Amino acid sequence: MLRLAGARLLDDRDYPAVRAALAADPVGSCMVSARVETAGLDPWRLGGELWAADSRPVRAGRLQGLCFSGPNLIPLRGSASALRSFADRALRRQRSCSSLVGHAEQVIGLWDELEPEWGPAREVRHDQPLMALDGVPHVAADPLVRAVRPEELDRYLPAAIAMFIEEVGVDPRNGDGGAGYRARVAELIAGGRAFARFEDGEVVFKAEIGAMSSTVGQIQGVWVHPERRGGGLGTAGTASVVTRLVRGMGRTASLYVNAYNSPALAAYRKIGFQQVGQYATVLF
């Protein structure tokens, strides 16, 4: 692989250019925008680093490349040479991210550079439609879907774990017995961003608002109890979360889904979501 000088770590001098780059792609950059809006560019507060392919701070104009390195590696924009510089910087340290995720052409291009040393991946999901909806859902929302209360964590957590295993293919309790995942779910609940329909004390539908910027909220973790699938709970439940996001929080609702998940794609399109891009994910 061609070795370059490497990507540059961004600092506060780059903040205007970073915000402009993120604002140009509000749906695709939601995961990173949510962090930057809250924490700025300081790595400790940001929970990761932002890299640019430019050799010096950009006080005006357009960043030539932008990549977030944290729990996930998220290439946001860049040419082939920019992706090589991001790979060069990533390979200077031991891999700590659990995945690469973002626009498909960026993720696959970066993975082509990283795979010789980081591969093989556990799974590469090449085609994940990125979808958005900024209006009223086309289907009725489920009135029984509501925000999960903090005292309901222990009733909600088994459904969250089941969803994670089904979607990601690993048990989130591995390594620390589930303490870290429990804390993350508890944080979502405390922030009013976990939603569920309970029947007889059991979760039959769940979804969460993961990343949330000032303009976009990304829905994640949509799950229906296996015994209740096919009855419309997922469609109506997701519509409830969309309504909360669009009407209650003033955000565009977004999500991404595996192209091979035909039932989910059909449900999201029925709700009114339209594809606005293509994501890809590399799982380790």
pLDDT on residue 267: 97
Among residues 10, 6, 130, the alpha carbon closest in space to that of 66 is found at 10
Phi, psi dihedral angles at 88 (to 5 degrees): -60, -45
pLDDT on residue 62: 75
Query: What pLDDT band is residue 2 in, cutting at 50, 70 and 90?
Result: very low
Question: pLDDT, tens digit, for every residue of 230-275?
Answer: 999 999 999 999 999 999 999 999 999 999 999 999 999 999 999 9
Contact between residue 38 and residue 215 where contact means Cβ atoms under 8 Å apart: no
pLDDT on residue 38: 95
What is the pLDDT averaged over residues 177-187?
Answer: 96
- The structural domains of the chain, with segments of one domain joined by +, span 8-120, 145-277
Q: What tokens were used for 83?
A: 């992706």
Contact between residue 29 and residue 76 where contact means Cβ atoms under 8 Å apart: yes
56 pLDDT more than 90 = no
pLDDT on residue 61: 60
d(CA 1, CA 200): 57
DSSP-derived letter for residue 244 is: I
Among residues 184, 205, 212, 206, the alpha carbon closest in space to that of 194 is found at 206
Contact between residue 66 and residue 11 where contact means Cβ atoms under 8 Å apart: no
Query: What pLDDT band is residue 3 in, cutting at 50, 70 and 90?
Result: very low
Positive/negative CA dihedral, 208, 211, 213, 217: negative
145-277, CATH topology level: Aminopeptidase (3.40.630)
Contact between residue 279 and residue 130 where contact means Cβ atoms under 8 Å apart: yes
pTM for this model (two decimals):
0.93
23 pLDDT more than 80 = yes
Of all residues in the chain, the percent with pLDDT exceeding 70 is 95
Question: pLDDT, tens digit, for every residue of 137-177?
Answer: 999 999 999 999 999 999 999 999 999 999 999 999 999 99
